[in-house]
Amino acid sequence: MKSLKIRNVSIVSGTNISQQVDSESKTDILILNGKIAQIGHQLKTPIDCDNLDADGWIATPGWIDIQLNGAFGFDFTENPDTIWQAAEELPKLGTTSFLPTIITSPLEVISKAIETLKKGPPAGFKGANALGLHLEGPFLNPLKKGAHNPKYLLKPNPDLVQEWTHSNGVLLVTLASELDEDFQTIRRLRDQGVVVSIGHSLASYEQARSAFQNGIQCGTHLFNAQTGIEHRAPGLSIALLTSREVYTGIIIDGIHAHRAMINLAWSCKGSQRFITVTDAISALGMPPGKYNLGEFEINVTETKVTLNDGTLAGSNITQQKSLRNLMAWTGCSLYEALGTVTTTPSELLKLPNKGGITPGADADLVLVDSDINIKATVVGGKILYRN
């Protein structure tokens, strides 16, 4: 593998992306064999090293999306084999790693998705890293099903998740914990190395807190498809906001949650437990029109994604737009916002080689200007997109 030297770039030093650095301080990054080898000036480089003059751009760690249902016309639940086709296009949006998300569907679809990831990408593949699966369902509460097909919903059962292991490429599972008797399924998944998230749930505040103590580490799309906020019965949303150790994903499009609620969530969770997700469907990167999410037809406008009855069905927002919204609505810095798509998801998923720009880390980088315009995307040391 050829080496790459990125010259004249501003970066965030160390692993703390929320630490703002002087944009006038520019340096070089040397990449060897897909890893960051050195950072500094006057680096000794191989003879055949490629060079990229960053012209003072900001180098951020690669952006991670832990909830992505599809993109560029490809729906992962409808056909898991299209994961690699979408992945080849994602770097142009700044996404370097993602969890292909399979929504509620027959268990055979999940098995096929597992096999697709285990088989790996096709020969000559150049695209974003499909880190592992996010299984959103089928263990969801029917009364909070959202855009999930109710005919495939099941009650949590530890016997059904034996192949849902970290070693099989299942990294994250969303379920309704109040349906899991004695937390047997949650504990089985946890013991198999899977991060378990609570979502599409009617859990009370007390039930949610108990679930956190029994293995739930995250909440799926905060405020959506869960019990709301009521001052005498605080519900799941408040349990997530007030449990400092629990991570939560949130869709920042101004449709799934009012900007005031985004600000509230930021005040409670901060960049350390706040994960920006898109929950994007196959319409991501595509014009408005009709698209699929599993077996359902979805109506997509410039800003909104719904079933025919008006139910929200994911989004078509990019990570770039999400970050801009987060900064505008909370007043956080660029560096704090970037943490929600870099260090924080990598910490949740226990990915020590991602989320930071340090020697030895994976060479996944997004080069942006101060307005988060994407100038170049590097995945595994290769420039896969250049504006």
Q: What positions carry a catalytic annotation?
A: 279
Q: Which residues contact 91 (CB under 8 A, 6 or more apart)?
A: 127, 128, 377, 379, 384, 385
- Tokens encoding 222: 């905060």
Helix 235-242 and helix 259-273, axial crossing angle in degrees, nearest 10:
40
Q: Compute φ and ψ for 168, nearest 5 degrees.
A: -90, 5
CA distance 158 to 251: 30
Asked if 171 and 134 count as a contact pair (C-beta separation under 8 A), the reply is yes
- Quickly tell me which residue has 């498809």 as its tokens: 225
Helix 259-273 and helix 319-330, axial crossing angle in degrees, nearest 10:
100
CA distance 288 to 324: 21
Q: Alpha helices, DSSP H only, in the chain?
A: 83-89, 107-119, 184-191, 205-213, 235-242, 259-273, 319-330, 334-339, 343-348
